């Protein structure tokens, strides 16, 4: 009954045998469009005209039914093929593949799943002779649904075949071949395409739309798994297959004399050869490519010659078996003894020895065979539970017996690892936790919870304490792995923390400069001094920050920042001297680095990465160093090791210093029992003595002890800061608390928990009604900014969305919403991240200079001389482009006693609403809005920064303008390419054409450089002249005076400056040198100035110089406590920050540098104990008295780093004013113009309305 037959032999009539012998026929029947009438296996029927093949192989290659080939990375589950036409005419099925990129050291493996009829069949890598059916592990061979689905091992492959023609061949590693009869043409979808003989339309999405991108096409066929995140590319922690050069052995595939030569006729080798060449040699990739070709060849009836050997792609076989090119794994099984199977063409693989048959993956004698029941094969001795655990069945020597069973109390029937059994209802019963974890039940699930936490500290002049409690000190200045996961337990989330140390205040000790945390695919960078900010993947971000859907949270509370994670890692830092890592015991014995190995034994903490126990602290820490490109870093102090005299020890352990910490009746008394003070007191003595009693160092040491006390739950007196003279100034709308909440309300998170679970922290807390916005406390309703994509932005802050600078956004403070507009970088810019800020940055810079008896060189390289001695516009913006910041640089020349020559005397920069004046009258300082100011100086963080670089004062702005002046004779202006053709002044127009640089403002050509120079006159000064009657051009005589031989060193090819020739325009410098010497009647200083400029430009361009100065030739005297060097630091440490200027990248060069133990303070080198103070971007030398506001309300004094202020307003007969650069209370009848009226005019000219600026 149910048999189908064709009575007339031509398939034009189709009959079906019905019940009671009745026959029903269709006389108008015809085979389908993709079928043909043919006798197959002795039966005439409509059979498919052809078979389509789709396959995936190698590291990333996919082939569709219609011949499309593409690459795909990642570890997601994709539908390879499924029936998309739902009219019911075709048997439905789904074949899915998951790439397991992380397995096998970057070599791809794949899991295959098939859904057909009511069955779900899964095949996993490295598993042979076994599949899972509906999650139950099942031996092969297997027959389901009376033969509707069969699965068996064929050589090295597992084959699953259905009665409707689907066949899937899996090599149990990464290769899968899907074959479908032609009756399925045009009704399938998936990565295998739509099987319609047109490969151009293969990228069809489930929606029916075509997609051109491989990634988007694949994403359309991605199988979403609940609670599982997958990666569709190579980033995010996945290892990608190696792409090393192709192995020469790939040529064996297409060799006409090789073992595969007889395959070429049935399977053309070129495509397989090209795939092998593309994917290279990683792991066993070559053997797998060859194996795939062999599978295709043998399945197509081709002949393969012997190609494996013990040395080349060997195949290991189990006991009682051997390798054969044509292995019979179908008819030589225990299962075949009870049923004669229909076997496919043989495949290479393992063959049982004579007298043995396959029993799953093993070869056994016949008497040891198992049982075949309902198409399932059970091994002898195997016991299984069936019928929802209602039966327990076992197989013994071919006899299968069952008995009733039921689960015991506290058990339930379930599946685990493919096995049905009675399992405990206690989730922890079968849970395996790590060594230092306990299993607890949460929401009916077993959860492994860490037993305890451990702490690793780095503080002060780095003093460390490992997780196991081993203290040590180390003063190296390189980058070191503080802590990282060893990978011993791959199930633990991996992370690493790298710290970089720096000198701060002296050359004998170091502090943490930066920390880099790599976690969950993100790089978090913490920079010393950058309070309230971190860098996330290179982009500077204000706190708080939330990453990975809140699994990483970075916040600020009090004086400290915290990184909290959901993986058991917490980091506390203060951007100054404290860095603490807290880790749960889940990571016990799984860590490395200078925080130790965290195994409960501090005696073996000094273990190197190679596992060797070191007896020397320095050598051990150095073993954990990482190259960071810093040629000046060191691990050991060499001969300049720190010392502390007996007298200093007595002083600094006294009650005014570190003795306060140990005082039994002092503010820290109640902490002593919980946190032993001895080690902290010794560290305090070390740091304070090394820094000769500097107050801020003492305060940091005491604050670190307070942090440890609070972490331990101990109480510290709120009077400790008063007793130690360590006041903590809080910003507006905030107040100091010794034990404030560690969960403060912020604009990014206004919901404060009623009970904060974190330990309280010391620091400034916002007043009631105010919340944290960056570093300030604001009214939450009106002062907050915007939260966008888990990042908080301050009001009016602009930023780029994405990493390609295609969309510029601004936080609208009025609406607290982010508004984005399409923008892109200009042709003269590129999108980049610099110092943590993503923006459009110039492609290049150009420099204009004026030196000596002003010899000018424009931005475009035009040289001319002009001796005007008034005030002139050197360079400024002459464009109405709203995206450009306006600025103007003016130059005042001076005759220096001779009307024949003039030199740069005063340089003024008008930019961003302020004026900055450099003049030889105030060497080493700058006038900021007429107020005399020491260097370094910072306006609005680093919007404008002015610092000293050897003999130059350097002004830099955030948009790329850089002005340098030596307070004597040379000025340089450097501008970015964004100002192309937007500049005017003596420096030219910056349009890459030097021929039109000397044009008048009206566009006409001048009669002379003098006319050109005067056309950019800005203002007069006493004694200046527009005529310059003595400014005649000097004729250099043919026979030059002997004294000009001083200039020969510039072009001497065997001299100390020989490496500069070719790097710098040597002949031009020599001409200027001769010119200035003749004008100055042989004055050697004139030559020295030019040669110094020449040397400086040479070193900036990478030239190497040798000693060229002497006592008699261009001697360079250095200030007290400094020495001359050919390679003085371009970024010297200053008293302002105890380190170099932020973002400084100036290379070393000739000049004076402070001796070890001394820092740059203004234009002097002073001992660290004599350093001054800084306040709101200004530096004040020790001993200086000043008013800190424009209204002269508070008068302050600076004494060795401590600033004290008092209310001292001006009296009734005095006025707050600025006289000769100094703000004070003066008896003044009229304001002192100080000849600055022209500056006021320029300031008014360049004041820009406040507006939101989009663009480059």
Q: What is the pLDDT of residues 459-503, one digit of tens each?
A: 766 788 999 999 888 877 788 999 999 989 988 999 999 998 776
Helix (H, G, I), strand (E, B) or coil at 1150: strand
Which residues lie below 8 Å from residue 598, measured CB to CB, with a gap of 6+?
454, 466, 467, 468, 583, 587, 588, 589, 590, 591
Q: What is the pLDDT of residue 174?
A: 85
Pull the structure tokens for residue 199: 């490969």
> b/e for 600-631, b at 16 or more Cβ within 10 A?
eebeebbbeeeeeeeeeeeebbbbbbeeeeee
**Rounded CA separation 857/850 (Å):** 7
pTM: predicted TM-score of the whole model, two decimal places: 0.58
Closest C-alpha to 1168, from 1145, 1134, 1193, 1197: 1134
CA distances from 1092 to 535, 671, 858, 1072, 1112 (A): 39, 60, 20, 12, 15
The Cα angle at residue 1153 between residues 1148 and 1155, in degrees rounded to 5: 130
- Rounded to 5 degrees, φ, ψ at 542 are -75, 150
From the number of C-beta atoms within 10 Å of its C-beta (0-12, 13-18, 19+), residue 339 rates as exposed
End-to-end CA distance of the chain: give it in Å, rounded: 81
Q: Where are the beta strands (DSSP E) in 444-551?
A: 445-450, 453-459, 463-465, 471-473, 479-485, 495-503, 510-519, 522-527, 533-536, 539-542, 545-547
DSSP tag of 353: P
List, in sequence order, the alpha helices (H) in 658-813: 659-662, 678-690, 695-711, 720-724
Task: Match 């389509």 to its residue by tokens.
Answer: 52
Residue-wise pLDDT for 46-62, tens only, equals: 888 889 999 998 767 88
Q: What is the pLDDT of residue 1248?
A: 42
User: Do 1155 and 1121 touch, CB atoms closer than 8 A?
Assistant: yes
User: Do 734 and 547 touch, CB atoms closer than 8 A?
Assistant: no
CA distances from 977 to 364, 767, 840, 841, 884 (A): 80, 47, 11, 9, 11
User: Do 1074 and 1047 touch, CB atoms closer than 8 A?
Assistant: yes
Closest C-alpha to 1197, from 1206, 1189, 5: 1206
Task: Match 């655990």 to its residue by tokens.
Answer: 389
* Residue 116, CB-side half-sphere exposure with 13 Å CA sphere: 25
Strand partners for 949: 952
Cα torsion 1044, 1046, 1048, 1051: sign: negative
Pull the structure tokens for residue 714: 């101990």
Pull the structure tokens for residue 598: 């965290």
CA distances from 239 to 103, 125, 242, 1068 (A): 9, 18, 9, 56
**Rounded CA separation 437/342 (Å):** 54
Q: What is the pLDDT of residue 1249?
A: 37
**Rounded CA separation 842/961 (Å):** 11
User: Which of the residues in the chain have pLDDT under 70?
Assistant: 1-2, 59, 101-107, 227, 232-248, 279-283, 340, 460-461, 503-511, 629-632, 637-643, 852-853, 894-904, 1027-1037, 1141-1143, 1228-1256
User: Do 940 and 911 touch, CB atoms closer than 8 A?
Assistant: no
Q: What is the pLDDT of residue 748?
A: 83
Pull the structure tokens for residue 679: 């080690």
**Rounded CA separation 948/707 (Å):** 37
**Rounded CA separation 720/712 (Å):** 18
List, in sequence order, the alpha helices (H) in 266-392: 270-279, 285-299
The Cα angle at residue 1169 between residues 1165 and 1170, in degrees rounded to 5: 50
Whether the link from the prior residue into 544 is cis, omega within 30° of 0, is: yes
User: Do 335 and 345 touch, CB atoms closer than 8 A?
Assistant: no
DSSP tag of 333: B
**Rounded CA separation 233/242 (Å):** 14
Q: Region of 27 please: left (phi>0), alpha (psi -120 to 50) or beta.
A: alpha
Q: What is the pLDDT of residue 240?
A: 47
Length of the chain: 1256
Q: What is the pLDDT of residue 30?
A: 82
Closest C-alpha to 107, from 309, 274, 244, 297: 244
CA distances from 233 to 75, 81, 220 (A): 8, 21, 15
Closest C-alpha to 960, from 1101, 839, 1099: 839
């Amino acid at each position: 009954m149910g048999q189908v037959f064709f009575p007339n032999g031509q398939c034009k009539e189709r009959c079906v045998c019905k019940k009671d012998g009745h026959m029903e026929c269709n006389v108008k029947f015809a085979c389908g469009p993709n079928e043909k009438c043919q006798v197959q296996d002795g039966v005439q029927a409509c059979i498919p005209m052809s078979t389509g093949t789709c396959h995936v192989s190698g590291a990333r290659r996919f082939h569709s039914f219609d011949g499309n080939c593409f690459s795909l990375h990642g570890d997601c589950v994709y539908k390879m093929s499924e029936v998309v036409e739902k009219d019911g005419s075709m048997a439905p099925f789904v074949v899915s593949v998951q790439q397991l990129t992380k397995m096998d050291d970057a070599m791809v493996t794949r899991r295959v799943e098939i859904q057909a009829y009511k069955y779900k069949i899964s095949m996993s890598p490295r598993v042979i002779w076994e599949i899972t059916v509906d999650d139950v592990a099942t031996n092969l061979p297997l027959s389901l649904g009376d033969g509707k689905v069969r699965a068996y091992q064929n050589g090295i492959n597992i084959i699953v075949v259905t009665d409707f023609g689907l066949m899937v061949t899996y090599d149990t590693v990464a290769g899968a071949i899907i074959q479908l009869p032609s009756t399925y043409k045009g009704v399938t979808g998936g990565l295998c395409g739509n099987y319609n003989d047109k490969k151009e339309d293969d990228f069809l999405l489930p929606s029916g739309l075509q997609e051109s991108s491989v990634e988007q096409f694949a994403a359309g066929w991605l199988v979403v798994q609940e609670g599982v995140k997958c990666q569709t590319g190579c980033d995010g922690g996945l290892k990608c297959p190696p792409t090393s050069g192709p192995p020469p052995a790939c040529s064996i595939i297409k060799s006409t004399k090789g073992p595969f030569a007889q395959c070429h006729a049935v399977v053309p080798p070129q495509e397989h050869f090209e795939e092998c060449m593309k994917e290279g040699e990683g792991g066993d990739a070559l053997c797998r490519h060859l194996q795939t070709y062999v599978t295709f060849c043998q399945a197509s009836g081709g002949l393969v010659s012997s190609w494996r050997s013990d040395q080349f792609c060997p195949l290991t076989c189990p006991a009682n078996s051997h390798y054969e090119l044509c292995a019979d794994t179908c008819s030589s099984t225990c299962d075949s003894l009870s049923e004669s199977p229909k076997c496919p063409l043989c495949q290479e693989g393992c063959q049982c020895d004579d007298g043995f048959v396959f029993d799953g993956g093993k070869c056994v004698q016949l008497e040891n065979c198992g049982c075949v029941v309902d198409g399932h094969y059970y091994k002898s001795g195997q016991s299984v539970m069936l019928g929802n655990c209602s039966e327990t069945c076992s197989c013994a020597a071919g006899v299968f017996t069952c008995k009733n069973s039921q689960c015991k109390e506290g058990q339930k029937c379930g599946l685990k690892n493919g096995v049905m059994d009675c399992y405990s209802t206690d989730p922890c019963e079968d849970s395996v936790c790590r060594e230092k974890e306990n299993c607890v039940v949460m929401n009916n699930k077993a959860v492994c919870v860490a037993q305890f936490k451990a702490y690793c500290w780095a503080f002060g002049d780095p003093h460390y304490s490992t997780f196991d409690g081993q203290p040590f000190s180390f003063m190296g200045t390189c980058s070191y792995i503080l802590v990282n996961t060893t990978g011993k337990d791959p199930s633990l989330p991996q992370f690493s923390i790298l710290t970089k140390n720096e000198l701060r205040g002296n050359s004998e000790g170091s502090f943490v400069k930066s920390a880099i945390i790599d976690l969950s695919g993100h790089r978090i960078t913490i920079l010393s001094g950058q309070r309230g900010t971190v860098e996330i993947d290179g982009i500077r971000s204000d706190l708080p920050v939330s990453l990975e859907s809140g699994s990483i949270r970075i916040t600020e509370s009090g004086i400290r920042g915290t990184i909290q994670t959901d993986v058991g890692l917490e980091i506390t830092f203060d951007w100054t001297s404290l860095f603490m890592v807290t880790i749960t015991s889940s990571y016990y014995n799984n860590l490395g680095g200078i925080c130790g190995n965290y195994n409960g034994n501090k005696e073996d903490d000094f273990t190197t990465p190679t596992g060797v126990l070191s007896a020397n602290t320095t050598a051990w820490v150095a073993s954990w160093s990482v190259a960071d490109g810093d040629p000046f870093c060191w691990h050991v102090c060499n001969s300049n090791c720190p010392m502390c005299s007996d007298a200093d020890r007595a002083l600094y352990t006294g009650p005014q210093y570190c003795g306060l910490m140990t005082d039994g009746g002092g503010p820290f008394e109640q902490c002593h029992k919980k946190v032993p003070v001895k080690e902290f007191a010794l560290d305090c003595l070390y740091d304070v003595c090394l820094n000769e009693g500097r107050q801020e160092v003492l305060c940091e040491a005491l604050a670190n002890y307070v942090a440890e006390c609070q972490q331990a739950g101990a109480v510290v007196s709120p009077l400790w800061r008063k007793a130690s003279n360590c006041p903590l100034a809080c910003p507006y709308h905030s107040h100091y608390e010794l034990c404030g909440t560690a969960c403060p309300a912020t604009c990014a998170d206004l919901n404060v928990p009623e009970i904060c679970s974190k330990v309280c922290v010391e620091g400034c807390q916002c007043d009631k009604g105010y919340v944290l916005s960056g570093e300030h406390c604001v009214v939450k309703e009106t002062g907050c900014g915007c939260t966008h994509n888990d990042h908080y932005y301050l009001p009016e802050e602009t930023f780029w969305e994405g990493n390609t600078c295609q969309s510029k956004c601004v936080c609208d403070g009025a609406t607290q919403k982010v508004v984005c507009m399409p923008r892109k970088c200009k042709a003269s810019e590129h999108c980049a991240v610099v110092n943590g800020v993503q923006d459009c940055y110039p492609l290049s810079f150009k420099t204009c200079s004026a030196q000596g008896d002003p010899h000018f060189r424009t931005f475009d390289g035009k040289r001319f001389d002009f001796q005007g001695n008034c005030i002139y516009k050197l360079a400024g913006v002459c464009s109405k482009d709203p995206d450009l910041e306006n600025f103007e640089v003016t130059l005042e020349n001076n005759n220096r006693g001779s009307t024949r020559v003039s030199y740069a005397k005063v340089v003024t920069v008008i930019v961003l609403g302020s004026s900055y004046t450099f003049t030889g009258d105030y060497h080493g300082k700058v006038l900021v809005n007429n107020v005399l100011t020491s260097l370094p100086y910072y306006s609005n963080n680093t919007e404008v920064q002015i610092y000293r670089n050897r003999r130059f004062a350097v002004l830099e702005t955030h948009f790329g303008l850089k002005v340098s002046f030596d307070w004597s004779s040379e000025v340089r202006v450097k501008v970015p390419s964004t100002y192309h053709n937007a500049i005017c002044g003596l420096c030219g127009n910056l349009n890459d054409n030097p021929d039109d640089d000397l044009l008048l403002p009206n566009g006409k050509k001048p009669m002379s450089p003098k006319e050109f120079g005067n056309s950019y006159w800005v203002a007069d000064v006493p004694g200046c002249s527009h005529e310059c009657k003595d400014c005649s051009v000097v004729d250099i005589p043919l026979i030059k005076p002997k004294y000009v031989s001083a200039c020969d060193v510039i072009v001497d090819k065997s001299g100390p400056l020989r490496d500069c020739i070719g790097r710098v325009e040597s002949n031009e410098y020599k001409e200027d040198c001769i010119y200035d010497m003749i004008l100055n009647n042989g004055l050697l200083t004139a030559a020295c100035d030019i040669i110094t400029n020449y040397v400086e430009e040479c070193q900036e361009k990478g030239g190497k110089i040798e000693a060229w100065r002497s006592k008699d030739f261009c001697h360079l005297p250095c200030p007290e406590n400094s020495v001359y060097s050919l390679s003085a630091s371009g970024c010297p440490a200053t008293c302002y920050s105890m380190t170099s200027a932020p973002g400084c990248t100036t290379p070393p060069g000739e000049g004076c540098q402070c001796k070890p133990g001394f820092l740059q303070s203004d234009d002097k080198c002073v001992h660290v104990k004599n350093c001054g103070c800084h306040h709101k971007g200004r530096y004040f030398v020790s001993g200086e008295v000043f008013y800190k506001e424009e209204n002269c309300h508070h008068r302050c004094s600076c004494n060795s780093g401590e600033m004290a202020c008092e209310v001292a307003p001006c009296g009734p007969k005095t006025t707050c004013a600025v006289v000769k650069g100094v703000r004070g209370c003066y008896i003044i009848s009229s304001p002192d113009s100080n000849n600055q009226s022209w500056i006021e005019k320029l300031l008014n000219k360049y004041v820009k309305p406040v507006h939101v600026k989009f663009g480059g």
